[in-house]
Structure 1
Amino acid sequence: MPTEFREYDKDDIRTQYAALCYRVVRDKTQVLLITSRGTKRWIVPKGWPMAKKAPHEAALQEAKEEGGVIGRASAKPLGTYSYMKVLSNGDEVPCIGLLFPVRVRLLRAEYPEARERKRKWFSLKKAAKKVDEPELARMIRDFDPRQLR
């Protein structure tokens, strides 16, 4: 965890940058979900702000590390969602995820967290049912890459 977060009260709300990784196959949009390291729930890649990276660049970096994604992130977020994050010390902290669309060009076979996570493509409807956060599920269900232009 970044040093600046260690000094905050555990009830402070933190921000993470998240990637909605997608592709279009035969006019159908698919979303790439990954499993969390701890609980193995289906989630989108996300992480803490990074020095010298814009929020959408940080989201893309997390998608690369956590899912092997090579692609392009839009600088305009789709929206926000809330969740509780379990830290390595066991504390739960409230977080807001800022979700950026990432068009996937390629998935690498080898990537930093390949041995720690699974990844899988889902239809929008199925992906929305797999994630636990209602606000994230709504953004996935309503996602239309044609509206990004």
Structure 2
Amino acid sequence: MIHTLKRAWADIFHQAEPVEKREQVAALCYKMVDGAKKVLLITSRDTGRWIVPKGWPIKGKNGAEAALQEAWEEAGVKKADIIEEPMGHFGYIKGLNNGEDVPVEAEVYLVHVRGLKEDYPEVDQRERAWFSPTDAAKLVREPDLKEILRSL
């Protein structure tokens, strides 16, 4: 409840005073199963809601490389083909460790998964599961991410 109120207050405040959005990269991971796409979602560490792997840009890596690194750390994606240009973007409000909420714009990179590892850096902190794009769109909160998933 408190988190919802803080987020609502932040939304009102941000409408009154524009705040620069921070940038992240996201990996929209998919595989083909019987001729149909399946999308990989993971749970967030704080709320347990379904999301795509994402994170802050990484010095020395381009957006696609950083998105692939996030897919490895958060979901165990080890073998994959990634399209170098983002396929879209979505915005959301991120809660930081210091209690501050900041607006974020995530660039989405399409990742064709060819192999997953069972042991990866955040295996004990997240769940992962494959969904149809339609079902995945129903599970995520961000409206623009829902649209991206539906477009698959």
State the TM-score bracket (shorter-chain normalisation).
0.7 to 0.9
Correspondences of 1:51-130 after superposition (within 5 Å): 51-70=59-78, 71-130=80-139
Cα deviation, 1:51-81, whole Å, max 9, x if unaligned, reads: 1101000000000000000212110111111
Q: Note the aligned Cα RMSD (angstroms).
A: 1.1
> Does residue 35 in structure 1 map to residue 43 in structure 2?
yes
Aligned residue for 2:135, secondary structure, equals helix
Contact 1:35 1:118 in 2 (8 A): yes
Aligned residue for 1:63, secondary structure, equals helix
- Bigger-Rg structure (1/2): 2
Contact 1:78 1:101 in 2 (8 A): yes
Residues matched between the structures, number: 134
Alignment-mate amino acid for residue 150 of structure 2:
R
For 2:21 and 2:133, how far apart are their aligned partners in 1?
A: 28
- Normalized per residue, the structure richer in helix is 2
TM-score (norm 2): 0.86
Runs of 4+ in 1 over 4 A off after TM superposition: none
1:12 is displaced (CA, Å) by: 2.6
Which 10-residue stretch deviates more, 70-79 or 39-48?
A: 70-79
Q: What percentage of residue pairs aligned between the two structures are identical?
A: 50
Aligned residue for 2:93, secondary structure, equals strand
1:90 is displaced (CA, Å) by: 1.5
